[in-house]
Structure 1
Amino acid sequence: MAIARKGWVVLDCPDNMELARFYAGLLGGEPDVEQDNDRWVELTTEDGWKLAFQRAEGFRPPRWPSAEHSQQLHLDVYVDDMEEAERQTLALGAKALDTDDQGGTRDFRVYADPAGHPFCLIRASSAT
Structure 2
Amino acid sequence: MPIARKGWVVLDCPDPLALARFYAGLLGGEPKVEESNDRWVELTTEDGWRLAFQRAEGFQPPQWPSAERSQQIHLDLYVDAVEEAERQTLALGAKALDTDDEGGKRGFRVYADPAGHPFCLVQGSFAT
* TM-score category, normalised to shorter length: over 0.9
Tell whether 2:80 aligns with 1:80.
Answer: yes
Which residue is equivalent to 1:107?
107
Identify unmatched segments of 5+ residues in structure 1: none
1:38 alignment partner, SS class: strand
Detail structure 1 runs of 4+ shifted over 2 Å in the superposition.
none
* Cα distance in 2 between the residues matched to 1:62 and 1:122: 20
* Cα distance in 2 between the residues matched to 1:11 and 1:47: 19
1:52 alignment partner, SS class: strand
* Cα distance in 2 between the residues matched to 1:15 and 1:103: 35
* Cα distance in 1 between the residues matched to 2:29 and 2:49: 10
Q: How many residues align?
A: 128
Q: TM-score, normalised by structure 1?
A: 0.98
2:37 alignment partner, SS class: coil
Tell whether 2:66 aligns with 1:66.
Answer: yes
2:38 alignment partner, SS class: coil
Which residue is equivalent to 2:126?
126
Which residue is equivalent to 1:35?
35
Q: TM-score, normalised by structure 2?
A: 0.98
Q: Give me the CA root mean square deviation.
A: 0.6
Shift of 1:96: 0.1
Which residue is equivalent to 1:26?
26
Which residue is equivalent to 1:47?
47
* Cα distance in 2 between the residues matched to 1:126 and 1:56: 34
Per-residue deviation, residues 71-100 of structure 1 (Å, max 9, x unmatched): 000000000000000000000000000000
